[in-house]
Structure 1
């Protein structure tokens, strides 16, 4: 459904919110996987990693939930309230707020929320990366030292990916923040220009969340597998 007379700015703005909404739900799904895995799966010898990581990720998940509950807006400037409401219902988005400075708020809020998310994931893996290569780590009761070493070796690639995303996302969010002035002060192509940093912010955060989910879920498998090898009579 496209209103006759809708501008490319309306179409791009609505499409961006649709993409963000779907991506945020996928990211929340990965954060829930992390939260499910963390309480029972702490890095051996570094229990605070799970406790602090769970707290940070839970806060980020809460910010994402509030953003989705409030509703990302459809963009249809110049239309009446009735048409805007119908358009929002058709797209599954919220009705557009009043014109003015608030028009830039959804883009900036998405960026800020994703920045909090990737920062929480960075905090989650900090405890893993601070273990030097080859350093001995004290295993917990009943845990194999071979499992500890194996996990730390296998985690280095995913940890670097997450930390790399955490390094890049703030820079893209700084570009999104340039969109803060009221629309009359924007150049005609402002929303088109803001799409690239928004896309990269979503892409990097989504990749980091999925990697963190796989990392935390893989920990239990690694520990059990290595322990079975150590205890095997063969």
Structure 2
């Protein structure tokens, strides 16, 4: 597999820690972790000698493998697990026949994908949580800061900036809690063998799956999910929703930062190669740019759900790149939004001036404060 993107664009479109968490090295480490865990579980069940499992664990180290070499050799079989297993068996010597026993390539790569996603969600969730806290602070501080509300991009009736921030908070919390639920409940071991029957293990099959889930810290599924891809769809949907709410907040920030509006600004604005006077809200702009790729990637993963029978001919392969890119773009968007909210300068005086130009400026947003309080209470309570 190639890196997730060209380094030329990483400063803008791969901000934060998620990109490294889904890189080639992370995938390689995860695949080797699955192979080593499988050997340990099988040794515990008496299916292979413990000495073989220990030898496999000693050889299943990333420094013994080259991701670029595995990627090139993957063309012969259609996936990188086959050359990885070939190399691991050669390294294991006499323990080689115990490597990958009873497994199929999809077992290893799918389970590795769940491990990679689980690790990548850690910094992503941390950034979303930080964004929510920053929105909560804005809601508290500006609970009663009146401003003009806008519908269809036109002046409507008065609202408060606190209520606008509370709306951001509510969406960020919902997206974060959904992602946490997916990470906790839907990232599962995939292990079924050649056709999802666990046939090589007889009655020990379910015990092997349970042991793998325990060792790897993933959920134990009721059945193998070789071609039942709702877990991938749940992850994609939750990531897409997170990217969507990040984009909503970032869009509001860019609109509020327009010179003609000037109700908020970036304390570390970006410049222009052609116009030295420009002070661009670059963090919000980059959050929008990162989030903009998410809908198409979600659609690609949903379209790939039509896996044939017990092994897909191409649909499985079609998931690999979109899943990685979706994690990267959503993680980058969340990291950029965190920066945008940390650097946000709010201009209540301009909000008042803009409100005064409205024919509805005397109206009071009666329930705004109560709604802000409700959002803050829900945030404090959690899911």
Tell me which interval the TM-score lies in, with the shorter structure as reference length: 0.7 to 0.9
Give the one of 167, 178, 189 matched to 1:52: 167
Aligned mates of 2:266, 2:180 — CA distance in 1:
35
Tell me whether 1:32 sits opposite 2:157 in the alignment.
no
Q: TM-score, structure 1 length as denominator?
A: 0.80
Q: How does 1:113-128 map to 2 (within 5 A)?
A: 113-128=238-253
2:323 to 198, 219, 234: 198
Q: Is contact 1:179-1:186 (8 Å) kept?
A: no
RMSD: 2.6
Quote the residue 2:178 is aligned against. Answer: 63
Could you tell me how far apart the structure 1 residues matched to 2:102 and 2:254 are? 53
Pair 1:63–1:207, CA change in 2 (3 A)? same
Residues 185 and 102 of structure 1, relative CA distance in 2, 3 Å threshold? closer
Alignment correspondent of 1:41: 138
Contact 2:106 2:226 in 1 (8 A): no
Confirm or deny: 8 A CA contact 1:30 1:210 kept in the other structure: yes
- What corresponds to 1:144 in structure 2? none
Higher relative helix content: 1
Whichever structure has more strand as a proportion of its residues is: 2
**Is the counterpart of residue 171 in structure 1 residue 296 in structure 2?**
yes
| Residue aligning to 1:133 | 258
Q: Secondary structure at the match of 1:62?
A: helix
Query: Is residue 2:186 matched to residue 1:89?
Result: no
Q: 2:312 aligns with which of 187, 207, 228?
A: 187
Q: TM-score, normalised by structure 2?
A: 0.50
Q: Is the 8 A contact 2:114 2:188 kept in 1?
A: yes
| Pairing of 1:143-162 with structure 2 (within 5 A) | 148-149=264-265, 151=267, 153=269, 156-162=281-287
Greater C-alpha Rg: 2
Count of residues paired in the alignment: 212
How far does residue 105 in structure 1 lie from its aligned partner after superposition?
1.2
For structure 1, the residue ranges without an aligned partner over 5 or more in a row are: 139-147, 224-234
